Amino acid sequence: MKKKIDVLIIGAGPTGLTLALALSRYGLTFRIIERASGPSVVSKAIGIQARSLELFARLGVADALMENAIKINQGNLYVNGAWQAKLDFTDLNTPFPFVTLLPQSETERILETRLKEDGHTVERETELTGFAQFPTFVTASIRKHDVTETVDASFIIGADGANSFVRRELGLPFSGKSFKESWALADIEVDWPLSSEEVHIFFSDHGVIESFPLQSNLFRITGNLTNGTVPTDHSAIEDFLKNRAKVPFTLKKVHWYSMFRVHNRIIEKFGHHRIYLIGDAAHINSPVGGQGMNTGIADAMNLAWKLWCVHRFKASFPLLDSYSVERREAARGILRSTNLATELLQINVPFLLPLQEKVIRNSLKITPLHHYVTNRIAQLNSNYQSSRLFVTQGNFPLLTPRPGEPMPYSEVVNPRTKKNELLLRRADRNFLLLLFLPREAGEQTLLPFKELAYSYPDLFETVSIHQELKDDGVVDQGGELARKFGIKQAGLYLIRPDGYIAYRQQGLKIQSFSRYLERLLYAR
C-alpha cells in the first residue's frame, strides 16, 4: 500500500528549493521533482534582495549564499557617460543593507546542498504528467524515463516556472502583456575605470544599458534593442556597449549572449483547493530591479508556514486561501513597479535626454524618494494591508510597525551574554510572541501565556521583554524598543514565521490574544 505524502513539489528552481527547505524544517513529508537532468548551469537571475536574505537566514543558508556572492552597496546612474546620481543601499534597516549578486546556478547549488544535508534529494529527469483532486488528497502521475508512478499527496505545489504544466492543466489564464522591444543580455569580461563592486546604469541617445559585476572583471550587461538588431559577435557587442556607456573600455571576452522579451503576467488566483502555484508559475515580470526570483522566494515562505499549520494544528482552509490573497497583492505591486521602471528605461527620445539628466540628478537627492526606491528594490516595504489575518487591539501611535508589515530590524540585550542580538532570530521556524512587560511583572503575569502555549505546542516562541536586567527574556535598554513599537505600559506583538507582524495589542489581556489565534487558525 503506497503511503501518502504531505506535499509534492513540481520544480527545483530557487522557489521550489526554498519551499522544500522550509517544509523540511517543519517536518512535513514531501517529494520534489524536476524535469531537467541536472542543476542550472547558466547565471539567469543574479540579484538576491535584502528581504530574501532575511528569509534565507531563517532557513540557515544566508551565510553560505553571501560567502560566494558580491555585495553591492551602491548603484550609479549615468547620462551620456557622465555620472548623475547614486542609489545607496547602506541605510536600509535590515541586517543585510546591500544587494547580493550571485548567479542563479550557484544559488540553486547552495540550496540543494543544504536540502541534501537535511536528508532530501531532488528527483531529476522526473516530470508530472497529470493529476486529479479529491476532497482530502491529490493523486499525481509522475514519469521518469519510461516508468510511470502514481503519488498521493495532501497538496501539489507548482513551482515549475513560466511555462508551468500545473497552470496549464488547471486551465488558468496567464493575463498580462509583453513589451514590444526585445532586450539583449551578455556576460562579458571588460576593463574600464568603473568599480567592480557597484552596479552601473547608463542612459544614452542609443538606449539604456545596465551593468552588474559577477567577478572582478566579469559583468552581466543588459540593454533594450531600440532597432531590433541583436548584437551577436564580439564587434557588435563592443559597439553596443560603446554607444551607450560612453566610457573608455577594452572588451576582452564575450562568454555568452542572448536575447529575451519582457513579459508582465499574473494568474487570478494562486490556490485551487489542494493545488497551489508559486514563483514564475503564478507571475512573471520584467527583470528590471531583480524582483522576479525574490518574489518567488517570498511566495514559498508565505505558503510553507500555512501548510505547516494545516498539518500540525489542523488549521482550516481559509488560512491557506490567504496565501493567494496576500501574495497576489504583493506580486501585482511588483508587476506595476517593474512595468513602470521598464517603460521609463525604454524611453529613447534624444531631445529629452537633458530633461532626463536633470530628473535623475535631482530626484534621488530627495531623501524620502531615495528611501522609497531603495526599500522597494530590497522588497522591505512590501505589506499585506488588505488581508484579514492582521489585527490591532488598542490604540497605537502613527508610524509604529503595523500588522501586515514586515517586522522591523530590532536588537535587544541578552541578559546572559550582555550583548545585543537580533530579536527576530529568537524564532526561525515558528511564530514569535513579544511580551512587553511592565516593570513590576511577576510570574503571574506570564502564567496565562504559558498555559496558552501548552494548548498550541510549538506554535510560538515567547520572548519576555523587560525594562531592566532579569534572569529570563531580554532587556529593552531605556524603553527604546517599546517606544519604537508604540507600547504604552505593557503589550504584545505576534510575528509570523515569514517575518510579518500578525497581531499587536496594548495591555496583556490573554482573552483578546487567544481569540485572535482561534480566528487565525480556524476562522472562528
Give the model confidence (pLDDT) of 281-337 as tens digits.
999 998 888 889 999 999 999 999 999 999 999 999 999 999 999 999 999 999 998
Query: Cβ(473)–Cβ(464) under 8 Å?
Result: yes
- Kindly state the helix (H) or strand (E) to which residue 434 belongs, with its residue range: strand 431-436
Within this chain, do residues 145 and 13 fall inside the same structural domain, yes or no?
A: yes
Of 248, 263, 278, at which residue does a domain stop?
Answer: 263
Q: Are residues 399 and 286 in the same domain?
A: no
What CA–CA distance (Å, rounded) separates 358 from 384? Answer: 35
**Which tops the pLDDT comparison, 454 or 287?**
454
The tens digit of pLDDT for each residue in 216-241 reads 788 999 988 877 677 778 898 999 99
206 belongs to a structural domain: yes
Boundary of a domain, candidates 245, 263, 281? 263
510 and 494, same structural domain? yes
| Distance in angstroms (rounded) separating the CA atoms of residues 211 and 74 | 12
Rounded (to 5) percent helix, strand, coil in the chain: 35, 30, 35
pLDDT of residue 169: 95
| Residue 353 resides in a domain | no
pLDDT at 41 over 90: no
Residue 248 grid cell: 573608455
Cell numbers given for 376: 522597494
Give pLDDT tens digits for 473-500: 788 878 889 999 999 989 999 999 999 9
pLDDT over 70 for what percent of the chain?
A: 96
472 vs 474: CA distance, rounded Å: 7
pLDDT class of 358 with cuts at 50, 70, 90 = confident
User: Does residue 332 sit in the same domain as residue 243?
Assistant: no
What pLDDT is attached to residue 188? 92
With beta carbons less than 8 A apart as the criterion, state whether 244 and 206 touch: yes
Is 385 part of any domain?
no
User: What average pLDDT does the structure give for the chain?
Assistant: 90
Q: Looking at the structure, tell me whether residues 514 and 424 fall in a common domain.
A: yes
Are 187 and 206 found together in one domain? yes
**E-only strand ranges, 365-427:** 391-393, 411-413, 420-422
Grid cell at residue 481: 524598543
Cα–Cα–Cα angle for 65, 159, 102, rounded to 5 degrees: 20
1, pLDDT greater than 70: no
Q: Do 513 and 427 fall into the same domain?
A: yes
Q: What is the CATH number of the domain that holds 497?
A: 3.40.30.120
114 and 207 in one domain? Answer: no
Task: Say how far apart CA 187 and CA 455 lie, in whole Å.
Answer: 55
Domain-located, residue 59: no
Last residue of a domain, one of 263, 298, 314: 263
Domain of residue 155 covers: 5-46+103-175+267-345
- Is there a domain that residue 383 lies in? no
Per-residue pLDDT, 429:
86
Is 338 within the bounds of a domain?
Answer: yes
Mean pLDDT of 269-278: 95
Taking the C-alpha atoms of residue 325 and residue 318, their distance in angstroms, rounded to an integer, is 10
279-293 pLDDT, tens digit each: 999 999 988 888 899
Q: Give yes or no for a contact between 205 and 356, defined as CB atoms under 8 angstroms apart.
A: no
Residue 381 lies in a domain: no
Q: Is residue 208 part of a domain?
A: yes
Nearest 5°: the CA angle 146, 282, 424 is 110
- What digits encode the pLDDT tens for the residues 244-254? 999 999 999 99
What is the structure's pLDDT at 473?
72
pLDDT bin (cut points 50, 70, 90) of residue 415 is low
- Distance, in Å, from the CA atom of 274 to the CA atom of 290, rounded to the nearest integer, reads 30
* Same domain flag for 216 and 160: no
Same domain, 230 and 300: no
The CATH number covering residue 244 comes to 3.30.9.10
Domain harbouring 26, CATH code:
3.50.50.60
Residues 413 and 480 in one domain: yes
Looking at the structure, tell me whether residues 237 and 185 fall in a common domain. yes
Domains identified in the chain, total number: 3
3-17, 122-136, 419-433, 509-523: least confidently modelled range: 419-433
CA atoms within 13 A on the CB side of 373: 19
Distance CA 303, CA 437 (A): 32
Radius of gyration of the chain (CA): 24
pLDDT at 471: 67
According to DSSP, the residues that pair with 412 across neighbouring strands are 421
| Residue 377 near residue 289 (C-beta atoms within 8 A) | yes
At 256, the pLDDT band (50, 70, 90 cuts) reads confident
Give the model's confidence band at 183: pLDDT under 50 very low, under 70 low, under 90 confident, else very high.
Answer: confident
